[in-house]
Amino acid sequence: MTTSTRYRLLASHRLRLRSRVVGIVTTLLAVVLAAGLASCGGDSKPAGRGADAPAGTTTPSTGRQPSARPSPGCENAPPATAAAGKAQTLDVGGVERTYLLAAPEGRNPAPLIILLHGMGSSAADIGRASGLPARGPAGGAVVVAPDAAGTPTMWRPGADGPDADFLDALVAHVEARHCIDTNRVGIVGFSVGAVFASTYGCARQDRVAAVVTVEVDTPGPCTRPMPILAFHGTADPIVAYAPPPGSTPLGGGSGTEANLAAWAKISRCTTTPVTTEISGKVTRIEWPRCAGGSEVVLYKIIGGGHTWPAEPPDATERVVAFLGRHSLR
């Protein structure tokens, strides 16, 4: 066998293996997406913060920051920076769960960003890919990245269940030990983590001020306006940006732009989006004039795959800014 023949056989084997992996991941995502969306709906869980819990609408930045709601941890929050390093543990119903946390220096109430990884990944993986554990604190936010359970790791999206209970407990845990502005809790998810970000955020609109999704977007399970920032690559091999006619899109809806249009309808935005060419590889699509200070924005990454966006604009910078400017009233 010649060397060139070996290379061709090796390349063919790798292509078949990659196709099998993509097929397996797509199938598992489809199952989780269906389960997550089926569990949506109904009323949110009570906030547990007293009778004056926020109503759930948001206020964008208007030159002055809305009043903060300091968490209990503001009374004894550590003044020094906490960098993400060794995984920390939290007992939730007798089960030990792990997470990473990074916090800025200072005792002022800070926004909290919940960062959710994708299937088969980890908090450390999404932290490296996104840079949020470093960039969030640099922008004044606390970032907490929990780990999913299972082999491979997989979130169980939904308004209720063990993973929703984990996030409830984790947010309360962080708010008790760090100085958090409880009006500015945002959630970010990649892949199946994006499904969980949507379902959890919409089920907790009395606690979550804004949602960010990367590479998976659903039609939107919220019942009232919710700010959302989305990123999706047009060459994503796992979750298609625009599925072929007649096919069933993974995640529901009719594709990325139709899904975001559904979020825009919930937020009572203008039905016709405004499109801006950021670069040869990035298009910004926004549905303007939303109700309650909401925003619905999509970054279309031309040729982008199933990854955290690497093309300009700086996705991580925009995530921090977006979540930082939305607050529960």
Token pair of 40 as six digits: 């949506």
pLDDT-derived band of residue 31, with 50, 70 and 90 as boundaries?
A: low
List Cβ neighbours of 159 (8 Å cut-off, separation of 6 or more): 39, 40, 41, 42, 44, 45, 199, 200, 202, 203
The model's pLDDT over 199-209, given as tens digits with 9 standing for 90+, comes to 999 999 999 99
Check whether 15 has a pLDDT greater than 50.
no
Separation of alpha carbons 78 and 115, rounded Å: 22
Separation of alpha carbons 137 and 85, rounded Å: 14
Cis peptide before 152 (omega within 30 of 0): yes
Check whether 91 has a pLDDT greater than 90.
yes
Check whether 107 has a pLDDT greater than 60.
yes
Token pair of 255 as six digits: 């594709």
- Burial (Cβ within 10 Å: 0-12, 13-18, ≥19) of residue 79: exposed
Separation of alpha carbons 88 and 116, rounded Å: 16
Among the listed residues 279, 310, 284, 280, the one whose alpha carbon sits nearest the alpha carbon of residue 296: 284
The answer to whether the Cα torsion of 164, 170, 171, 176 is positive or negative is: positive
The top-scoring range by mean pLDDT among 14-18, 22-26, 155-159, 318-322 is 318-322
Separation of alpha carbons 123 and 78, rounded Å: 23
Check whether 36 has a pLDDT greater than 60.
no
Taking residues 68-89, what's their average pLDDT? 83
What H or E segment, with its residue span, contains residue 317?
A: helix 315-324
For 167, phi and psi rounded to 5 degrees? -65, -40
pLDDT of the residue at 86:
85
The model's pLDDT over 250-279, given as tens digits with 9 standing for 90+, comes to 655 689 999 999 999 999 999 999 999 999
Q: Cβ–Cβ contacts within 10 Å for residue 43, how many?
A: 9
| CATH 3.40.50.1820 describes domain 3-42+58-328 | yes
Separation of alpha carbons 66 and 203, rounded Å: 23
Distance of CA 270 to the CA centre of its chain: 24
The model's pLDDT over 293-327, given as tens digits with 9 standing for 90+, comes to 999 999 999 999 999 998 777 999 999 999 999 99
pLDDT of the residue at 148:
98
The model's pLDDT over 316-325, given as tens digits with 9 standing for 90+, comes to 999 999 999 9
Domain boundaries, the chain: 3-42+58-328
pLDDT of the residue at 245:
80
Token pair of 76 as six digits: 């004894």
List the beta strands (DSSP E) in the chain. 58-59, 88-92, 95-102, 110-116, 142-146, 180-190, 210-214, 228-233, 274-279, 282-287, 296-301, 327-328
pLDDT of the residue at 52:
28
Bridge partners of 212? 188, 229
pLDDT of the residue at 34:
53
CA atoms within 13 A on the CB side of 301: 21
Answer for the pair 118, 193: CB distance below 8 angstroms, yes or no: yes
pLDDT of the residue at 318:
95
What predicted TM-score, i.e. pTM, was given to this entire model?
A: 0.83
Residues found in the chain: 329
pLDDT of the residue at 80:
64
The model's pLDDT over 177-226, given as tens digits with 9 standing for 90+, comes to 999 999 999 999 999 999 999 999 999 999 999 999 999 998 888 999 99
